[in-house]
Structure 1
Amino acid sequence: YQASLFLGQAGLAEEAEASRSEAFRCVRLAVEKGVELAARPVRAALPEPKWREVRVEAPPRIDFGGGWSDTPPFCFDWGGTVLNAALELNGEYPIRAVIRVLDEPVVRCAADGAVTQYRSREEVMAPPSPGCPFAIHRVALQMLGVPECGLEISTEVALPMGSGLGTSSILAATVLRGLSELYGLSLDAGELSDQVMCLEQRMTTGGGWQDQAGGIFPGVKLITSGPGLHQRLRVQPIGWSSERQAEFSSRFVLHYTGIRRIAKGLLTQVVGRYLAREVATIQVLHSIKTLAVEMAYAMREGEWDHLGRLMRRHWELNQILDPHTTNAPINRLLHELDPYLAGAKLAGAGGGGFLMLVARSPEAAAAMKLHLSRAAGKSYEFRIATGGLRVHTLLE
């Protein structure tokens, strides 16, 4: 990657792009090397299905601290630390996949109303075109194997695109989990997280492990990994009481801003800055790991004002990584809400999506909700999800 910077300064644009692409290819190969199942040969055909239909539902995640530290190659060098939570939104798990056996020998893919079908293994195995709505479906089959019987993979995300709630990664987890359940393939939670990271690298969207881990593992938890190509996740629930959780829920507000942003371009920029060994980027990535640990302590002890201060600091560090993390409408809304706020940050990569708001008191939270009811976007009712992925199977 550093060679690409030198070549670019020399005016050799084509050579610089080739060098840059090779750097990201090396990251992708490192991810695949670290995933146990990725080293297995692709199956010519999957075994006979155990079920006629498998439905998988998943919660989205919100990330309080440490997001970006889970992203390769930083996590390969230093390990990652993330504090996040799985949520029910408006009383449901909004990320869903249905895998169904068909009598007709085709692979049919459906995603949010769009439908297509493939009649040969070669069609399924071909690289998806950029922006293909069925990329997750096809790459999942490329990784686990193309079935000989007919198959339908249908997915739905009942959330806005670019929400910042990790929906793409978690949707990939539901598809991989559904396929493994349908065909009786062994895939535990850690392996599932690994497979999603591998899938996203193959799709060229990149990404780390915190999005899918946030939905796969229930509740509020501190997730850590050590250095190395195989990212072994250690999941530690924060261990708060029901009273402490109720205190949090009375102060926390989740609001969709109505602004969308896709993380792929931003992720490439941040990874590129790390590969270039920019000092500020490296310092921020280490700092947000520490903030995630401090946030977990604050939540466990009910130190809500301190949690708010830590979120404010994290928000500042996110803007060092990328100044476009925020924008004028978001800054204006945060300024209006400041009298009620202990702290706030955008979920995910920022630039839009959902705002995570911690109020100074339950009364301030109520006043903030009233203010937001007159603002753009929509506030969501939430509950901490306690069950991880939900899997339903049908024989007929």
Structure 2
Amino acid sequence: MIYRSKAPLRIGLAGGGTDVSPYSDLYGGAILNATVSLYARAAIEPLDNGQVIFECADRREFATYDAVYPLPIDGNLDLLKGVINRVYKDYGKFPSNGFKLTTFVDAPAGSGLGTSSTLVVAVLGAFAEWLKLPLGEYDLAHLAYSIEREDLQQAGGKQDQYAATFGGVNFMEFYKNDKVIVNPLRIKDVYLHELENNLVLFYTSTSRLSSSIISEQQKNVTDKKDDSIEAMHHLKDQAVMMKEALLRGSIDKIGEILDYGFEYKKKMAKGITNPQLDEIYEAARKAGASGGKISGAGGGGFMIFYCPKNTRFAVVDVLKNFGGDVKRYSFTNNGIQTWSI
């Protein structure tokens, strides 16, 4: 038997960063995001050779360990080993003498689409399929968050795990004590089609270590830096503005809302943008984009641009001058899916 899963990556449209503690604990956070047809995939094949075999097919990384748990957290494939160790700790012995775990992600690590957290969700989903784990959507998302942020001590927020698990377009609220409320939005198809047509997803061919940016953001809140905290308040407001625009069909306001958020996001922490990214942003604006942002924590990876009417073609042409890649996608309604064969 092979036990498989796939979980969608997400585009963050508004409120990015307000899902990160301690801001969300102190003030409450709000984010609007949408999952897209780019995925993290996982497959588990039970073995009987006393080994745990890893194959990260997209990165061409391979590793083999003895099936003795917990596996060592040593800087090599720790994200995958962290999931295995937690599943073993919480649910007991695996029903085989070893297994092979194969993974593949449709976007590079550090690209700003939530790849790491989505991969954790996908791997957890494959284990849930194999071991018949009693995990509902909130349970699965919270367990993925706990593995990354608590077990592995990796800095970051909460939105990615919930987006990958639930799927669709969601307005998410974040509170203290890890309370998360996912509000699925019923947006008319015509509005989503127009958003999908006008929203250009551009990979800058650079990646970044989001943890350093997020750590500074967290420190700014702890140190009560007014400019940074005020910027996060505005980003939380932006999430509400984006929700209303999508539900009312005010699609061409989205560029302005993105631009509004981007100006405040840059005030959250250093390193969110740089001269190269600013140049790309201004070139897209001059070509017809009405707004945009850097996806994820910032510093590199993907950027998105809202291109009203038929300006996307001119914007795409200009972006070709910067190298990188315009990524085709579609919005998806489904979160994680698992099956066996």
The answer to whether TM tops 0.5 is: yes
**Structure 1 residue 330 corresponds to structure 2 residue 264:** no
Cα distance, 1:230 vs structure 2: 3.2
Superposition pairs of residues 29-44 of structure 1, within 5 angstroms: none
Checking the alignment, whether the CA contact within 8 Å between 1:105 and 1:148 is kept in structure 2 is no
Q: Which amino acid aligns with 1:203?
A: L
Q: Tell whether 2:59 aligns with 1:110.
A: no
Partner residue in 1 for 2:170: 221
Aligned with 2:265 (options 318, 322, 326): 318
Q: Residue 123 of structure 2 aligns to which amino acid in structure 1?
A: V
Answering whether residue 251 of structure 2 is matched by residue 304 of structure 1, we say yes
Q: CA-to-partner distance for each residue in 1:17-55, whole Å, 9 max, x for gaps?
A: xxxxxxxxxxxxxxxxxxxxxxxxxxxxxxxxxxx3211
Structure 2 counterpart of 1:310, which letter?
I
Offset at residue 322 of structure 1 (A): 2.0
* 1:57 and 2:2 matched: no
Q: Which runs of 5+ in 2 are unaligned?
A: none
- Deviations for 1:220-242, whole angstroms, at most 9, x for unmatched residues? 221113x33132323232x2211
Report the Cα offset of residue 308 of structure 1: 1.3
Q: Could you tell me which runs of 5 or more consecutive residues in structure 1 were left unpaired when the two chains were aligned.
A: 1-51
Tell me how far apart the structure 1 counterparts of residues 7 and 81 of structure 2 sit (CA, whole Å): 20
| CA deviation string 1:179-217 (max 9, x = no partner) | 122101111111111111111122221222101222222
1:69 lines up with 2:18 in the alignment? yes
Letter in 2 for 1:263: S
**TM-score of the aligned structures, taking structure 1 as reference length:** 0.80
2:94 aligns with one of 143, 147, 168? 147
1:65 is displaced (CA, Å) by 1.0
TM-superposition CA deviations, 1:303-328 (whole Å, max 9, x none): 23422111111111111112321111
1:240 is aligned, of 175, 180, 187, to 187
- Within 5 Å, give how 1:131-142 maps onto structure 2: 132=76, 134-142=77-85
Aligned residue in 2 for 1:274? 221
2:31 alignment partner, SS class: strand
Aligned length: 332
Q: Deviations over 1:133-173 (max 9, x none)?
A: x2122111221115262112221113223210000000000
Please name the residue that 1:98 is paired with: 43
Cα RMSD, aligned residues only: 1.7
| 1:200 lines up with 2:145 in the alignment | no
* Counterpart code for 1:80: G
Cα distance in 2, alignment partners of residues 367 and 294 from structure 1: 27
- The structure in which a higher percent of residues are strand is 2
The aligned amino acid for 2:140 is L
* Bigger-Rg structure (1/2): 1
The alignment status of 1:181 with 2:129, answered yes or no, reads: yes
One-letter code aligned to 2:53: R
The 5 Å alignment of 1:339-358 reads 339=286, 340-358=288-306
Whether the aligned pair in 2 keeps the contact of 1:252 and 1:356 (CA below 8 Å) is yes
Q: Please show how residues 356-395 of structure 1 align to structure 2 within 5 Å.
A: 356-361=304-309, 363-394=310-341
Paired with 2:130 and 2:304, the residues of 1 have a C-alpha distance of 36
Match of 1:157 among 85, 97, 105: 105
Taking every aligned residue pair, what percent have the same amino acid on both sides? 24
State the alpha-carbon separation in 1 of the partners of residues 197 and 22 from structure 2.
38
Partner residue, 1:9: none
- Residue 291 of structure 1 corresponds to 238
TM-score, structure 2 as length reference: 0.92
Q: Distance in 1 between matches of 2:266 and 2:273?
A: 7
The answer as to whether partners of 1:218 and 1:388 remain within 8 angstroms in 2 is yes
User: Which residue type is aligned with residue 152 of structure 1?
Assistant: K
Secondary structure in 1 matching 2:339: strand
1:331-354: per-residue Cα shift (whole Å, max 9, x none)?
112222213011110110111111
Query: The residue matched to 1:60 in structure 2 has which SS?
Result: strand
User: Which residue is equivalent to 1:39?
Assistant: none
Any conservation in 2 of the 1:58–1:216 contact (CA below 8 Å)?
A: yes
| Deviation (angstroms), 1:78 | 2.9
CA distance in 1, matches of 2:306, 2:47: 48
